[in-house]
Amino acid sequence: MRKLAALSLLSLCFLVFIPNAFSQTCAPAGFSNAGPVTNAYNFISNPGPASDTCWTHDYRTAFVTGITSCTTYVGTVTNNAFEYVSFSGSTYQDIVIPTTDTRKNFGLSYYFDFDDPNNDPYWDRFNAVVYDVTTGTNLYQSSTYNGSMPDLLCARRDSPTMSFPNTLAGHTIRIYLNGSTAYSNTHIRVYGIGFWGWN
- Domain with residue 159: its CATH number is 2.60.120.260
What percentage of the chain has pLDDT greater than the value 70? 84
Provide the 3-class DSSP secondary structure of residue 13.
helix
Which pLDDT score, from 0 to 100, does residue 66 have? Answer: 87
Sign of the dihedral defined by the CA atoms of residues 177, 98, 168, 199, in that order: negative
Amino acid at position 108, single letter: L
- DSSP code at position 142: P
pLDDT by residue (tens digit) across 150-176?
Answer: 999 999 999 999 999 989 999 999 999
Average pLDDT over residues 111-129: 97
Q: Which residue has the higher pLDDT, 169 or 23?
A: 169
pLDDT band at 17 (very low <50, low <70, confident <90, very high): very low
Check if the beta carbon of residue 196 is closer than 8 Å to that of residue 107.
yes
Domains held by the chain: number: 1
Residue 98 has pLDDT above 90, yes or no: yes
State pTM to two decimals: 0.84
Average pLDDT over residues 89-111: 95
Domain range spanning residue 98? 2-198
Query: What is the residue-wise DSSP string for 148-159?
Result: TSPPEEEEEEEP
